[in-house]
Copies of this chain bind each other. A is one copy, B any other.
Amino acid sequence: MSETVFTYAAPALKFGTGSSGEIGHDLRQLGARRVLLVTDPGVAATGHPARIAERLVGHGLEVTTYDEAHVEPTDESLAHAIAFARDAGPFDAVVAVGGGSSIDTAKAVNLLTTNPGELMDYVNAPVGKALAPTERLLPLVAVPTTTGTGAESTTICVLDVLSLHVKTGISHPALRPTLAVVDPALTATQPAMVTAAAGMDILCHALESYTARWYAEFDAKQPEQRVPYCGANPISDLWSERAMDLLAGAFRRAVHDGEDEQAREQMAMAATFAGLGFGNAGVHIPHANAYPIAGRVRDYRPAGYPDEPIVPHGMAVALTAPEAFRFTFDAVPERHLRAARLLDPSAAGDGPDVLPGVLTRLMRDIGIPNGLAEVGYAEADVDDLVAGAVQQQRLLATAPVSPTEEDLASVFRRSMEHW
């Protein structure tokens, strides 16, 4: 029997310039007194977290700041944050100020300061034990400062398990933030490459949700089998379409002129909307491929990021996106074409090349590397990359057509150089 039900959930949202100044009030409404603020060193350097902490103190809240969230969290970095919070707590609310890394770190800290056990107990199987939390988590207010990850809307915390060289996650509805506060003014400090990479993440959230397997094409689930990600559905479609529409108008402008306030605001809105979409539909092949691409980095060091080897998440997602959507085209051609037209109304044609063409033109314009080769991978790495991607079965199951290992190898191989 086919599925007849889809689900939808979202954090409460406060959107607009100045909204980050109201968090003290919001936290008091949530009953908070002792607050843990989680951020990372780069975001801390912008001064936003300190300003927010000061406002919280002005509202009579006690604030402890943890500013060592690691960009692209690891099991070690999360363990460090959890140990800090267990030691400095108890708290009755958590505020995350930063990109997906800070927000995901806050999710893990929230989980492990309210529930027993250790990180690996909750990490997705087969890497971890995939236990469900048994105790109620604290209210979590997420304040994104990069317009990309949608982490403020989602139920997932992504991490590298260093000893296994694998990127995986923790996924449970209880991890979803209580309130997302999206203040476009906080995103004006993003370097151009961060805007470009994070923007590709937004775009792929929207595109992957929009082309995900339709919810009614899965087998019927029992209520206890439902997961936060239920495939494309009438609600995720609304968010994804509107996000693509906003990106079409703002993405290139936001990368090329960081001072363009309207473009920044539209990117912040696109990120939020795409997050609300993929937070319910799910993502698929480009995100599955991104795990090994980011996790097995050797020595690629992009501008605008901390000086260490890193393929930023959004860039890792983008690098195989054109070829992934060429591969999925036949499963839902009309959605691929409609997405291409939303992103570029002048895109002509009606075949599998249309969407990859729109994507590669965009990637070239905004300075994304021209394929996997440029970030240090070669033909010899393909088997290893495939081995990493196939571990993301939860994501691959959301694709409109299930890729075999050969299919994935072909996507990686064709993604070495895009133009």
Contact = CB atoms under 8 A, between A and B. Distances in A.
Contacts of A13: 7-9, 235
Interface in A380-418: none
A176 B8 CA distance: 16
Interface in A1-48: 3-10, 12-19, 22, 25-26
Interface string A217-247: 0000001100000000011001100100000
A254 interface: no
Contact of A223 (B12, B26, B234): B26
Contacts of A6: 14-16
Contacts of A235: 13, 15
A269 interface: yes
A265 to B, nearest CB: 10
Given A223-B22, A223-B25, A242-B238, A14 B4 contact: no
Given A223-B25, A224-B25, A10 B7 contact: no
A234 B4 contact: no
A6 B8 CA distance: 21
Given A234-B269, A238-B238, A242-B238, A12 B22 contact: no
Given A9-B12, A12-B9, A242-B238, A4 B17 contact: yes
Nearest to A233: B15
Given A223-B22, A224-B25, A5 B14 contact: yes
A269 B19 CA distance: 31
A17 B2 CA distance: 11
Given A25-B224, A223-B26, A242-B238, A12 B8 contact: yes
Nearest to A136: B31
B18 A5 contact: yes
Contacts of A26: 223
Contacts of A18: 4-5
Contact of A8 (B3, B4, B15): B15
B15 A5 contact: yes
A5 B181 CA distance: 10
A18 B17 CA distance: 42
A70 B63 CA distance: 48
Nearest to A280: B13
A25 B173 CA distance: 15
A9 B10 CA distance: 8
Given A234-B269, A238-B242, A16 B5 contact: yes
Contacts of A22: 5, 223
A154 to B, nearest CB: 14
A7 B14 CA distance: 4
B16 A4 contact: yes
27 contacts: A3-B16, A4-B18, A4-B19, A5-B14, A5-B15, A5-B16, A5-B17, A5-B18, A5-B19, A6-B14, A6-B15, A6-B16, A7-B12, A7-B13, A7-B15, A8-B12, A8-B15, A9-B12, A10-B10, A13-B235, A22-B223, A25-B223, A26-B223, A234-B242, A234-B269, A238-B238, A238-B242
